[in-house]
């Protein structure tokens, strides 16, 4: 049988096959070496090649480079042995675009059972593959940063522990003060920063390491394969340096830092549960990250057994704080504000306290962040304001001579759109003159001067005064002091505790600056006579601290003012 006869027979078979195929079928006949002998119109349509451009060419003209050599070796081994091959192939069209075809290749055999021709019948599945890829992106990749997510990690676990004797290092990182960036510059700017963080992280890692977005501003980095603790430290330091560089996003220049917790472990051959192994590392690294934040951020911390006890304490507080809201376990105490030139009590600061039946007295340093994280700070903050306003009203009705009561306001509470309206409602309900109320906010609360200015001016119109608490430890700037309607600066107690030469220079600078700008200056944390005398000499206006009184319940303030007894309550 000559070649022409063989081809004619093949074409006749093709016509019979085409009748059985639907119009979407893509058909090609090649010789035993893969040289194209026939294509139908649908083949030309999808490949963007004309029939003349295809006939006589090898099918490699369509190679997209997507599939491995092993893939094609398996394909050719199947068909050259006279068997039918089925599978999905990604091809490249003439215009450079890519398309997917579901392919069946049938060999034609000669008398010696050797293939002399192949017919390939294909169907376009490009849309289906694109949809599958879209679903995969949604399921396994973070839509904002395009980084893998935790679902991807679960699929990937078997790969990272193929050699179970290798060390796995897991870095759990969280941006410092990211919530304030979102609150002050908007979520669009925050999202743009997260994209930039993802890009920077990629430059810190080795080829086979993986970055995941855990959620929010949390990321997980996994180092596997051969590496040492020193290698892990090197990566952590690179990340800290990269993420501390200024971000230029949405016409803002923003500087932040990150906190990194690190856990390391070796998966032993007898450990079959890869997921539990990684989950344990994540929990340990999360705990270590929490300790890095406690150190002030912009650092890394390795997991230790002691940290697990502290994080367990955190979870206990989280559990009990929900009960505290239902059982009225919170209370408010008051610490006097004293004029330093006369030692006269002129005001009080209201402080939130929590006594739990199981945990005992819990420090505000512990429970305030939990209230903020769980979203309870708004109702608790409103309760504190209402309690304080009612207490101040009672004092005034009893002719207690207190000029004002100051209340700490959480940044989250201050930035709430309903804050001023809710405060006005509380003042109206308690019938308290706003002049008797002062709100204490931190410097970090007013990072966004535009939004802060609006709220502060509304408070000023309401008749409420505003104090900057812990002044000197945050984002000090003369520009916002001049632009914003602020009444009082409170010198952070850290400076009062350390009145050496440098400490005195800082304190004197704040006092002189505040006096020149007509602010009332208050020194916090005065405990010793020497501190009191020094601040008095520097003409600091007011002070508070254990030198005069510990925070006490409202009913004991009357006794302090009358001078009939000293408070014995220690809070």
pLDDT of residue 48: 95
Give the CA count within 13 Å in the CB-facing half-sphere of 547.
24
Task: Give pLDDT tens digits along the chain (571 positions).
Answer: 454 565 556 555 555 555 445 567 899 999 989 999 999 999 999 999 999 999 999 999 999 999 988 899 999 999 999 999 999 999 999 999 999 999 999 999 988 888 999 999 999 988 888 877 777 667 778 888 888 887 777 666 655 555 555 678 899 999 988 887 887 788 898 899 999 999 999 888 877 788 899 888 999 998 877 788 888 999 999 999 999 898 888 888 888 889 999 998 876 555 556 677 788 888 889 989 988 887 878 899 998 876 667 667 777 888 898 888 888 899 999 999 999 998 899 999 999 999 999 999 999 988 998 888 788 899 999 999 999 999 999 998 888 888 999 999 998 898 888 899 999 999 999 999 999 999 999 877 776 666 678 889 999 999 999 998 878 665 455 566 777 888 999 988 888 888 877 778 888 888 988 888 889 999 999 999 999 999 999 999 999 999 999 999 988 888 777 653 444 333 3
CA distance readout (Å), 226 to 160, 203, 264, 270: 11, 19, 13, 20
Nearest to 36 by CA among 146, 104, 117: 117
Hey, is 277 helix, strand or coil?
A: helix
Nearest to 414 by CA among 385, 373, 374: 385
Cβ atoms of 289 and 172 closer than 8 Å: yes
How far apart CA 526 and CA 268 sit, in angstroms, is: 57
pLDDT of residue 470: 79
Q: Integer distance in angstroms from the first to the last C-alpha of the chain?
A: 106
CATH architecture of structural domain 141-303: 2-Layer Sandwich (3.30)
Residue 202 CB-density burial (10 A; 0-12 exposed, 13-18 middle, 19+ buried) = exposed
Cβ atoms of 299 and 259 closer than 8 Å: yes
Q: What is the DSSP letter of 87?
A: E
| Whether the domain at 141-303 and the domain at 328-562 fall into the same CATH topology | no
H helix or E strand, kind and range, residue 383: helix 377-397
pLDDT of residue 565: 40
Q: How far is CA 478 from the centre of its chain?
A: 31
pLDDT of residue 502: 74
The radius of gyration of the chain's CA atoms, rounded to the nearest angstrom, is 36
pLDDT of residue 28: 92
Joined together, the tokens standing for residue 141 give 């990749």
- State the pTM of this model: 0.56
List, in sequence order, every residue forming a beta bridge with 209; answer none if it has no partner: none
The CATH number of domain 3-131 is 1.20.210.10: no
pLDDT of residue 479: 60
pLDDT of residue 571: 37
Q: Where are the domains of the chain?
A: 3-131, 141-303, 328-562
Residues 6+ apart with CB under 8 A from 537: none
Length of the chain in terms of residues written:
571
375: left (phi over 0), alpha (psi -120 to 50) or beta: left
pLDDT of residue 568: 36
Cβ atoms of 303 and 287 closer than 8 Å: yes
CATH class of this structure's domain 328-562? alpha beta
How far apart CA 469 and CA 524 sit, in angstroms, is: 9
């Amino acid at each position: 049988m000559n070649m022409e006869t063989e081809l004619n027979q093949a074409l006749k078979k093709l016509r019979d096959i085409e009748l059985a195929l639907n119009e979407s079928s893509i058909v090609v006949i090649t010789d035993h070496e893969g040289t194209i002998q026939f294509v139908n119109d649908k083949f030309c349509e999808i490949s963007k090649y004309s029939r003349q451009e295809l006939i006589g060419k090898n099918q490699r003209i369509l190679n997209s480079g997507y599939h491995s050599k092993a893939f094609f070796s398996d394909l050719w081994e199947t068909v050259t042995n006279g068997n039918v091959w089925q599978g999905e192939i990604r091809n490249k069209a003439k215009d450079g675009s890519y398309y997917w075809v579901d392919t069946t290749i049938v060999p034609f055999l000669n008398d010696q059972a050797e293939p002399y021709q192949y017919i390939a019948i294909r169907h376009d599945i490009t849309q289906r593959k694109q949809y599958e890829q879209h679903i995969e992106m949604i399921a396994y990749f973070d839509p904002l940063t395009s980084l893998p997510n935790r679902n991807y990690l679960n699929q990937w676990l078997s790969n990272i522990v193929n050699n179970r004797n290798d060390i796995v290092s897991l870095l759990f990182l969280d941006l410092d003060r990211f919530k304030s960036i979102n609150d002050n510059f908007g979520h669009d700017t925050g999202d743009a920063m997260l994209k930039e963080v993802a890009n920077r992280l990629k430059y810190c890692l080795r080829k086979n390491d993986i970055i995941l977005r855990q959620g929010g501003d949390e990321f997980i980095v996994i180092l596997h394969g051969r590496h040492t603790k020193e290698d892990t430290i090197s990566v952590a330091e690179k990340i800290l340096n990269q993420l501390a560089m200024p971000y230029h996003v949405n016409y803002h220049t923003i500087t932040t830092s990150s906190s990194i917790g690190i856990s390391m472990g070796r998966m032993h051959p007898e450990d079959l549960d890869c997921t539990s192994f990684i989950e344990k590392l994540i929990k340990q690294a999360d705990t270590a990250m929490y300790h890095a934040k406690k150190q002030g951020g912009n650092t890394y911390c390795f997991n230790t057994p002691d940290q697990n006890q502290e994080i367990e304490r955190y979870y206990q507080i989280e559990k009990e704080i929900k009960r505290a809201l239902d059982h009225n376990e919170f209370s408010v105490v008051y610490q006097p504000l004293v004029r330093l030139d006369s030692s006269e009590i002129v005001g009080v600061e209201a402080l939130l306290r929590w006594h739990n039946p199981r945990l005992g007295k819990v420090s505000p340093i512990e429970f305030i962040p939990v209230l903020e994280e769980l979203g309870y700070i708004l109702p608790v903050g409103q309760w504190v304001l209402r309690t304080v306003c009612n207490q101040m009203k009672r004092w005034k009705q009893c002719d207690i001579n207190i000029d004002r009561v100051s209340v700490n306001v959480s940044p989250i509470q201050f930035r709430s759109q309903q804050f001023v309206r809710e405060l006005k409602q509380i003042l109206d309900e308690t019938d308290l003159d706003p002049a008797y109320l002062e709100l204490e906010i931190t410097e970090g609360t007013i990072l966004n001067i535009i939004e802060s200015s609006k709220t502060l001016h509304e408070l000023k119109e309401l008749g409420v005064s505003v104090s900057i608490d812990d002044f000197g430890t945050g984002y000090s700037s003369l520009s916002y002091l001049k632009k914003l309607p602020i009444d009082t600066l409170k010198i952070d107690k850290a400076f009062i505790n350390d009145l050496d030469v440098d400490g005195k220079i800082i304190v004197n600078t704040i006092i002189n600056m505040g006096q020149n700008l007509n602010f009332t200056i208050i020194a916090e944390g005065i405990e010793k006579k020497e501190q009191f005398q020094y601040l008095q000499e520097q003409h600091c206006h007011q002070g508070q601290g254990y030198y005069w009184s510990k925070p006490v319940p409202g009913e004991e303030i009357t006794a302090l003012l009358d001078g009939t007894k000293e408070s014995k309550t220690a809070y």
